[in-house]
A and B are shown apart, each in its own frame.
Chain A
Amino acid sequence: MVELDNQKEAPIPSDYNEDSDDSDSTQHSDESDFEDSSADKDGDSSSGSSDSDSDSKSELEDGSPAQDNSGDSEDAESQDEDDVKSEGGSEGSDIHQEGVGGDESDSSEDEVAPRNTIGEVPLKWYEDEPHIGYDIKGKKIKKKEKEDKLGSFLANVDDSKNWRKIYDEYNDEVVELTKDEIKIVRKLMKNQAPHTDFDPYPTYVDWFKWDGAKHPLSNAPEPKRRFIPSKWEAKKVVQYVRAIRNGSITFDKPKEEDDAYLLWEDDSGLTEKANHLAYVPAPKQKLPGIKWDLNFGVQYNISFSFEVLLVLIISFCLSGHDESYNPPLEYIPTQEEINSYQLMYEEDRPKFIPKRFTSMRSIPAYENAMKESFERCLDLYLCPRVRRKRLNIDPESLKPKLPNKKELKPYPITCYIEYKGHEGAVTSISVEASGQWMASGSSDGTVRVWEVETGRCLRRWEIGEAVNCVTWNPLPDIHILAVSVGQDVLLLNTGLGDEEEQQRIKELLLVDSPKASEETGKKAPSVSWLKDDKHDGIRLRHLKTVTSVEWHRKGDYFSTVMPAGESRSVLIHQLSKKLSQKLPFKLHGLAVRSTFHPSRSIFFICTKKTVRVYDLLKRKLIKTLYTGLKEASSIAVHPGGDNLIVGSKEGKLCWFDMDLSAKPYKTLKCHPKDINNVVFHRSYPLFASCSDDSTAYVFHGMVYSDLNQNPLIVPLEILRGHANSNGRGILDCKFHPRQPWLFTAGADQLIKLYCHY
């Protein structure tokens, strides 16, 4: 049957190939190939599986997916097959036989009648029968005797062609497949054309023999249209031409090359830009070696001209040859120096470290070239441009021209006398109106009176408490000292002057004690006037510590300041009537000092931040001066009365011109430490300040009678000489009433007199 099949199908290729021998030979070669592979398979089977039957089965099973595709029934069968496998090999092979047979039956059924004629009935029906069916004549076909399994196994093992054998259950016979058939099966499994000799891509054979053919296939004459111009085309052309003429068709313009031309042909007439905004050309880039320093937006060193700078850039200057590829050796920093750059602040660090290359060929490409260029671009379009005046100033020229000091003489220059004797810091000094005597109070609890010219200590009071302030009565014939000690103010009789004067002084210093007690009975006074027997004077008992005492010019009134006294911090006392009264004004801030106007009934109170000016007669506030200081410490009024100076604890000195403004006319920052006192000279245009930095400054402060002319302030001299003790320097300074001399009281227990020669 198989043979037949083969013959039947063989003619197909023979249609193509003239000689079928060829195909045969290929067939043979195929066969041999196949045998080789089968031999391999055999080897596998002998080694891998014991049952060759099952092997054959597995071989076919490989293709089962292909069969699966054909339908679900098949799938079910393969399921069955698995079940059957356990029962016996014959059963499984049956099923396969059926499948293959089914394939074959299509072609073979018509020609050869099967021996079994039962038709398409289930074989199950014959399972229990001794026959498998009937042959064509109606005779029963007996079932063959079944070999026992062992025998069949042994036979199978011996037979190398066993894997090709398939049991045909229908006819109850074993069929051996030929090699061709197996090939067909395989091809089918691959979904290829089943016949082995079928070539899906044959080379094209041109059966028509062209050579020698003199005539074309068609004998038709050449059509006329090939010689006559096309009407349609002509129409189209006319259409286009018209369209072009009408302008409805436009052509692409030839690509324009943006060539250069003479742009600035006649620019002689032009001077300025049409754009009316001020145009600021970009500043040129810094060149290596040209020094452009920008410090805080200030430029100098280049002549007076308007130069442009970019506001945002602060360029760092390179000193000359740094950028050279081969700079002088001294321009190259050592390794240590380069390392030390790491410790610097980012902005101080040099941006460019000079390097040296020994030849030009060794210069590498500069890695920051693009970046620097880009930064320049950013500067060019993102920086606001501002014209700025570049100052060509020698730093010295910034300093104001001061008048020659020689013309401003006399003023205290050198230390002339030192008054020694105090055993504590001298806190306060005061000079008598005649200029002959000087009183000093010290923290050692003594008050001394000195003769100015000789330095002799005339008198000494043991008070026993640190003295805050000492002041002479301004009248030359009343030799009374006001001394503030803790919460008390003592009025002492110095015992100077002739008999008459002494008499008057004693009368003044006489306190009617019962009267005082009366007063205490009436109301709680802020101050009690008591007789001080020990020192032969008056003791004014205050509620709080008194820091300063200031006399009125007429010598009858004096004021005291108690910073902690709140509403009673500033009191005015009358000596002749032994009366004390508080100011009827509200003080804003902590009172520091107070002073009287040198000629009018005006009273100044210096608080920490302001100076308040009161009219005592009209009893009202005239003016408030704003110092702008953090903490004022002292105040002094010019003998003219319109100017005053305020010293502060931050070392600043403010000069107020009261006619000018409520703000300082000039603020001088002279001392690094607290200013302790400021004074005006009574007759010379001098003023001085002393501070904890152990220096005293002497200034020339000329006030002109012409209102248009501002006061002239010239610093003259720095007086040094005092030593610093416990962080305190000069605690007080006073001018001599007549001479241009300055007394300074230091924390180093000394009092010094500076004279003008």
Chain B
Amino acid sequence: MGKHYRPAGKKKEGNAAKYVTRTQAIRLLQISLPLFRKLCILKGITPREPKKKFKGNDKTYYHVKDIAFLHHEPLLEMHRAIRVHERKIKKAEAKKNVERANRLREKTPKPKIDRIIRQRYPRFVDALGELDDCLTMVHLFATVPATKEKKIDVDLIHKCRKLAHEWQAFIARTHRLRKTFVSVKGIYYQAEVEGQTITWLTPHALQQVVPDDVDIPTMLNFLQIYQPLLGFVNFHLYHSINLKYPPLLDPELEAEAAVYGLIRYAQSNNKPTILETSELVESEQLESKQDGPEIQNKKSELRLAQLQHQLPSNEPGALMHLVEKAAGEDGEEYDDETKQCKNLFQNVKIFLSREVPRESLHFVIPAFGGMVSWEGEKAPFAETDQSITHQIVDREAQGHRFLSREYVQPQWVFDCVNARIILPTENYMVGRIPPPHLSPFVDYGEEGSYVPDYAKTIKHLQAAARKEVLPLPGVEKDLEDPQNLLAEGIIDRAAANQAAKEKQKLMILEKQYHEDLKKELQGATYTSAGSTEVIQTGESLNNGQANIDDVDMAELVMPNKKRKLLKAMEISNQRKQSKNDTIIRRKKKLDEAQNQRS
């Protein structure tokens, strides 16, 4: 009698009754492995970890209920129908009945995903909570080249791009963006929607290479659920701010600046429902109700363009202001943080040079309340506009300069956004190597973590902006108001530079002073405790020995499990510490080298 003998007629018990292996599941469902995987992806079913792996450690286990869940899935039947249909197409092609084949191909049944989405994310908040991967994937596929041999469809990529733009437009319109981080891997964005923190990664605006060791069908399976999910989420969000979805854009503007166009669409289309002052618009809307959504969109778009042209050249952002004011009056309630974000670039007008990666800035600057323009036919204002305060330039040197504006590198925008203040621009000027770009996701609160210099500087500036701490008298004037600083910079750059230098010097002096103070304090304690020193050291030695013993003692009595855990912790802590140490060591070396040079 075997160890696992079960008498006939007796039911399975325990883990064996609760879980099935993958092979068992596939046999039960009578489907192929790829289809099983696809269903798992669509339905969000993952393997489970049974307490006892009754068929061996190398097997994948699924819960019986999960498999039953798949078993009742209409999608399963749908895929069977699709298979039958494909056979028909094949037959028609084999008989060279092209017409029938094409007709059949068009009639291929398409699985509906909306029910599954509803099932997986019963509430909107659930969907938002798990939107990270979806957004990252959609943004990635917006930059992937369409290739036939890998079955990456052009339509798919366009759809991805569209969805991504719509999402970004919503975030920018509602000023939900919180953090950005330009990394080597791409640009990270963090937004807060309905209390959910959503972080996604967009690749840099260069085309991705599709490596051969990546299984594209799997990713496409994921996209099959992600695309409609983002579509529904976008619809919900647009609906929540009284916007029509999907938005239609002027194709020229879309080609030039899709996100910007969408944001503007969102702002302008929002206007009539909130404001309802302009009869024209109202009547137009009435009209459009009869005409149907597309015509309405087009018309409004057209009208928008007209308005844009009618506006006086020196006040191109008036429309946006109007909208924003209206929004504010109407009591669109913003929490404090959103308000702060919204007003960050309130008085800033930014022009992007040709070479600047446009897409991300089109998204970030309006998201923080700034006005942005670029070189192009559909740009809201031209480069020659006198009211431009900043021009983003990403080249070695700028030839012709307007005195009325600052020429900064794109990193300035991202750093400002992360610091939530307008940073002084002298470090970011054209031709210079900008200061380090720091991750906003780092929490310096943790004890013993290394804080880079620039993070300290930014903290100082932030404090100054909040007027919490009064900096040293010489610096006060400069740091009192970043706007002031800005203005100063515009008036006289040289003076501003000097001021900055002074400020740095003073900061160094201040630091030194603090250090001296510390030293002095320590010295004082030494002198005061001088008489008892010998005894103290002796005692401390004893205590030290005792402490060491104590530690060892406690470890002796620990159970094995805990002891191993402790060891693991110690190792990881050591690793962390060593990482920190290497950074500090490198920093020291760098400082020394700099000192020698100077």
Contacts and interface: CB of A to CB of B under 8 A. Distances in A.
Interface string A343-362: 00000000000110111110
Contacts of A276: 65
B394 A360 contact: yes
Contacts of B557: 400, 402, 666, 668, 713-715
Given A281-B129, A287-B188, A384-B47, A264 B124 contact: yes
A289 B418 CA distance: 14
A716 interface: yes
A605 B571 CA distance: 42
A525 B191 CA distance: 93
Contacts of B140: 369-370, 373
Contacts of A386: 49
B535 interface: no
Nearest to B199: A287
A319 B106 contact: no
Contact of A376 (B110, B133, B183, B215): B133
A258 B130 CA distance: 22
A267 B122 contact: yes
Given A260-B228, A355-B184, A381 B37 contact: yes
Interface string B151-174: 000000000000000000000000
A330 B585 CA distance: 8
Among B110, B183, B452, chain A packs the most CB atoms within 10 A around the CB of B183
B568 A377 contact: no
B207 interface: yes
Sorting the interface of chain B by its residue count into under 10, 10 to 19, 20 to 34 or 35 or more gives 35 or more
A298 B47 contact: no
A384 B59 CA distance: 12
B569 interface: yes
Contacts of A384: 46-49, 60-61
B439 A289 contact: yes
A287 B186 CA distance: 12
B467 interface: no
Contact of A264 (B49, B106, B236, B590): B236
B272 to A, nearest CB: 21
A354 B557 CA distance: 44
Interface string B539-578: 0000000000111111111100010111011111100100
Contacts of B356: 360-361
A324 interface: yes
Contacts of A364: 204, 206
Contact of A328 (B47, B114, B124, B436): B436
A261 interface: yes
A376 B562 CA distance: 32
B219 interface: yes
A300 B570 CA distance: 12
Given A329-B590, A330-B583, A323 B394 contact: no
A369 B556 contact: no
B122 A270 contact: yes
A277 interface: yes
A91 to B, nearest CB: 63
A713 B129 CA distance: 50
A298 B209 contact: no
A668 B556 contact: yes
Contacts of A273: 122
A325 B183 contact: yes
A360 B410 contact: yes
A260 B185 contact: no
A249 to B, nearest CB: 15
A650 B333 CA distance: 71
A287 B302 CA distance: 42
Contacts of A369: 140, 185-186, 203, 208
Given A290-B443, A713-B557, A372 B235 contact: no
A373 B583 contact: no
B294 interface: no
A278 to B, nearest CB: 10
B235 A260 contact: yes
Nearest to A297: B568
A649 to B, nearest CB: 18
Contact of A374 (B209, B214, B433, B438): B214
Contacts of A333: 586
A382 B203 contact: no
A334 B569 CA distance: 29
A321 B439 contact: yes
B439 A669 contact: no
A260 B136 contact: no
B513 interface: no
A368 B214 CA distance: 10
Contact of A360 (B47, B357, B584): B357
A295 B246 CA distance: 47
A260 B573 contact: no
B402 interface: no
A371 B210 CA distance: 8
Contact of A370 (B118, B210, B441, B564): B210
Contacts of B41: 380-381
B586 A324 contact: no
B409 interface: yes
B437 A324 contact: yes
B570 A327 contact: no
A384 B437 CA distance: 37
Contacts of A378: 218
Interface string A511-526: 0000000000000000
Contact of A319 (B209, B211, B239, B579): B579
Contact of A262 (B48, B182, B235, B443): B235
B236 A359 contact: no
Contact of A398 (B40, B60, B552, B566): B566
B103 interface: yes
A298 B568 contact: yes
Given A258-B228, A260-B231, A323 B219 contact: no
Contact of A288 (B103, B112, B436, B439): B439
Given A262-B236, A293-B572, A399-B555, A321 B438 contact: yes
Contacts of B553: 402, 714-716, 718
A660 interface: no
A384 B231 CA distance: 28
A402 B547 CA distance: 13
A671 to B, nearest CB: 10
Interface string B439-462: 111110010011011100000000
Nearest to A354: B184
Interface in B191-230: 199, 203-204, 206-211, 213-215, 218-219, 222, 228
Contacts of A301: 446
B450 to A, nearest CB: 8
3 closest residue pairs by CB, A with B: A289-B442, A399-B554, A289-B441
Interface of A: 252, 255-256, 258-264, 267, 270, 272-277, 280-282, 284-285, 287-291, 293, 295-296, 298, 300-301, 311, 317, 319-321, 323-334, 337, 354-355, 357-361, 363-374, 376-378, 380-386, 393, 395, 398-400, 402, 666, 668-670, 697, 713-718
Interface of B: 37, 40-41, 46-49, 60-61, 63, 65-66, 69, 103, 106-107, 110, 112-114, 117-119, 121-124, 127, 129-130, 132-133, 136-137, 140, 144, 181-186, 188, 199, 203-204, 206-211, 213-215, 218-219, 222, 228, 231-232, 234-236, 239, 245-246, 355-357, 394-395, 409-411, 433-434, 436-443, 446, 449-450, 452-454, 549-558, 562, 564-566, 568-573, 576, 579-580, 582-584, 586-587, 590
27 contacts: A261-B114, A267-B122, A267-B124, A277-B63, A290-B442, A298-B568, A320-B442, A323-B184, A330-B583, A337-B582, A359-B434, A360-B356, A360-B411, A361-B357, A366-B184, A366-B204, A370-B140, A373-B137, A374-B219, A377-B218, A381-B222, A384-B49, A668-B557, A713-B557, A714-B553, A716-B553, A718-B549
Given A320-B439, A718-B549, A718-B552, 4 more contacts: A263-B232, A295-B572, A323-B439, A399-B551
